């Protein structure tokens, strides 16, 4: 929404395999928001992520979802 727009650093969509890449994100602490919808199933992730120099990996699954309907 409009309230979050000034704070959005990157926005991506995953491929069919569920993977996405955020290029050129500076090291620091971020909050990662993720949404997945299929039919009547919705899942929401809100994760605090500490990005370090180099490659970083975050896995979104049922174990770290904030909400699953």
In angstroms, the CA 51 to CA 25 distance is: 8
**Confidence (pLDDT) at 19:** 86
**Confidence (pLDDT) at 6:** 87
Outline where DSSP puts E strands in 1-69.
28-38, 41-51, 67-68
**Confidence (pLDDT) at 33:** 92
In angstroms, the CA 10 to CA 56 distance is: 15
Q: Phi and psi of 64, rounded to 5°?
A: -125, 15
**Contacts of residue 28, Cβ cutoff 8 Å, sequence gap at least 6:** 50, 51
**Confidence (pLDDT) at 23:** 87
β partners of residue 28: 51
Residue pLDDT, tens place only, 26-60: 999 999 999 999 889 999 999 999 999 999 999 99
């Amino acid at each position: 929404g409009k309230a979050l727009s000034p704070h959005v650093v990157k926005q991506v969509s995953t491929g069919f395999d569920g993977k996405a890449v955020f290029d050129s994100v500076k090291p620091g602490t971020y909050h990662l928001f993720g949404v997945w919808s299929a039919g009547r199933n919705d899942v929401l992730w809100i994760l605090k992520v500490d990005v370090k120099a180099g490659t970083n990996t975050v896995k979104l699954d049922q174990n770290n979802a904030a909400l699953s309907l």
